[in-house]
Each structure stands twice: as C-alpha cells, then as structure tokens.
Structure 1
Amino acid sequence: MRNEDIPIGFTMELAQHENALSAFSSLTNEQQRQVIDEAKNMKTRQEMRNYVENQFK
C-alpha cells in the first residue's frame, strides 16, 4: 500500500494512539486495506478519532 493511499488524518490518529498503531501493524495487508478504505469515509477529525479509537479497542 502506498503512503498516498492512506488518509493523513488516519495516520495522525494512529501516531497518537500507540495501541492502535500496534494493532494496525499486526493486521494482514488485506485487513489493513479494509480499515483504510473505511477510514476514507470519515469526514471530520472527530469522526476519524472515534473510528481509530473504536476500531482498535
């Protein structure tokens, strides 16, 4: 997956949530792609924060 395919807000939220970053890194490429595709639907910073926090509880 290319870096430009990953929403910047998603990357920033992962950087702020170490447990989420670790969990995301352990996913398969296909699982990561699915998470990123869903993240692309987030329209606000708060939506992205909630998405990341809830995705990797």
Structure 2
Amino acid sequence: MINNEELPIGFTMEMAMHSEVLNRFAGLPKQEQEKIINGARNINSHDAMRSYVENIFNNGMQ
C-alpha cells in the first residue's frame, strides 16, 4: 500500500475488522489512500477511529 510512513495502528486494526472497507481502500489510487491515512493520523480515540473507518466511503471521502 503506502511505503512513506508507518500506518496508524488503530487504523490498521479497524481496517482488519472491516474487510469490505479494506478491499475498497486497497483499490484506490495511492493519492486517495494517503489522504485517508493522513485523516486517520489526527484521530485519538478507539471509538472515533472505528467511526472514521466505517464511514470512509459514506461521507464523501471517496
């Protein structure tokens, strides 16, 4: 996926629990993936990260 920096651990854990989101994310262009990952870097709670991942494709992020 992205080689520039380590992915946020909470983001990777949530993505692993949401395979449909992970599959769609993997199909995105690198630039779109980076945009989503950078958004995840600003999240500081488990509940907020879960909501972020669950809504990646529902809130106009993609």
User: What amino acid is the match of 2:45?
Assistant: T
1:1-57 equivalences under 5 Å are: 1-2=2-3, 4-57=5-58
Contact preservation (8 Å) 1:19, 1:56? no
CA RMSD of aligned residues (A): 1.5
The answer to which structure has the higher helix fraction is: 1
For residues 4 and 37 of structure 1, what CA distance do their matches in structure 2 show?
10
- Moved beyond 3 Å, runs of 4+: none
What is the total number of aligned residue pairs between the two structures?
57
Shifted more, 31-40 versus 1-10: the winner is: 1-10
User: TM-score normalised to the size of structure 2?
Assistant: 0.83
| Deviation, structure 1 residue 2 | 2.6
Report percent identity of matched pairs: 44
> Which runs of 5 or more structure 1 residues have no equivalent in the other structure?
none
TM-score by length of 1: 0.90
